[in-house]
Amino acid sequence: MAPTKKPQNKRNARIAKKKSQLKAAHDNKKVLKDLLKEAEDLENQCAKEGAELQEMKVALDRLYNADAEINECKSCRLEFNKEDRIPRLLKCGHTVCENCYFTKAKTYKREQYPIYKCLECKEKIKLITYQENNDGKPPKNYTIATYIDKYF
Ligand SMILES: [Zn+2]
Ligand SMILES: [Zn+2]
């Protein structure tokens, strides 16, 4: 019986080896599958965070532009300040820096007094309008002035 038992043992051993190899392969496949799932999750998370970052960027851009809209003189495109570019509120409702108001005012042919022409609505404002105010200056736009004080 010994000669027949030997090959059978050998075959059993081979089967056992194949089985363990299959199991190892199966385990590896599971590990790979888990890794793949993990990678997918990470990818999804990154996409979500990317979208959130994009939203933040848009919001920041909007804020930045709103800032420029408020703190810049529309005439010279420079930021208002507390010295020579104090924001001055014109009677048309628009605001211009003090420097532009005085330096860009002109005396037109049939006019007696210098006139500042509002860049935004084209209203002609006689400089004499504010003669009784502090040194002929239109009132300060306090909303913008406070904003400049606070953030610049
Ligand atoms: Zn200006
Ligand atoms: Zn105006």
Q: Is the dihedral of CA 47, 50, 56, 58 positive or negative?
A: negative
Q: Which helix (H) or strand (E) holds 15?
A: helix 2-71
Domain boundaries, given as residue ranges, for the chain: 1-71, 87-151
Check pLDDT > 80 for residue 152. Answer: no
Per-residue model confidence as pLDDT tens digits over 98-144? 999 999 999 988 888 899 999 999 999 999 988 887 689 999 999 99
Query: 74-95 burial by CB neighbour count: b if 16+ within 10 A, else e?
Result: ebbeebbbeeebbbbbbeeebb
Ligand nearest the Cα of residue 94 is 2
| Ligand 1 geometric centre to CA of 72 (Å) | 8
| Ligand 2 geometric centre to CA of 124 (Å) | 8
pTM above 0.95, yes or no: no
| Ligand 1 geometric centre to CA of 122 (Å) | 15
Rounded Cα distance between 21 and 83, Å, is 83
Rounded Cα distance between 42 and 46, Å, is 6
